[in-house]
Amino acid sequence: HCRTNYSAALRMKWSLTYGKGRCSCIDKGSDFIQQKQKALGKIEVIPKSSSCDHVEIIATLKPTGEQKCLNPNSKWVRKMVTALVKKR
C-alpha cells in the first residue's frame, strides 16, 4: 500500500516540478514507440507556453486511440516526427 502512495506522490511532485504543473504529460515521456507507423493515428506537438515550460509530443495510437507522451529530447522521437512531415 505504501509503495503505490509513494509512486503517486512522486508522479504528483514530478508533474508539479516538471513543467509548472499544467503540462499535458506528467513525465518526460517515452524515448520511442514500438508500434509500427501504421498504428500511429496522429502526433501532436505542443509548443512551450506560459502554462508548460517545455515542448510536449503526444502520439495517438490506432485502433484504441491510446495517447502516449513521447520524449522531445529523444533523437528517435525527433527523427520520427521529421520523417513523418517529409513523407508526403
Q: State the minimum distance, in angstroms, from the CB of residue 75 to a copy of itself.
A: 11
33 binds a copy of itself (CB under 8 A): no
51 binds a copy of itself (CB under 8 A): no
Among 8, 48, 66, 76, binds a copy of itself (CB under 8 A): 48
Closest CA to 25 of 63, 62, 73, 64: 73
Rounded CA separation 84/34 (Å)? 16
H/E run at residue 26: none
Rounded CA separation 64/57 (Å)? 18
Residues that bind a copy of itself (CB under 8 A): 37-38, 40-49, 54-55, 57, 72-73, 77-78, 81-82, 84-88
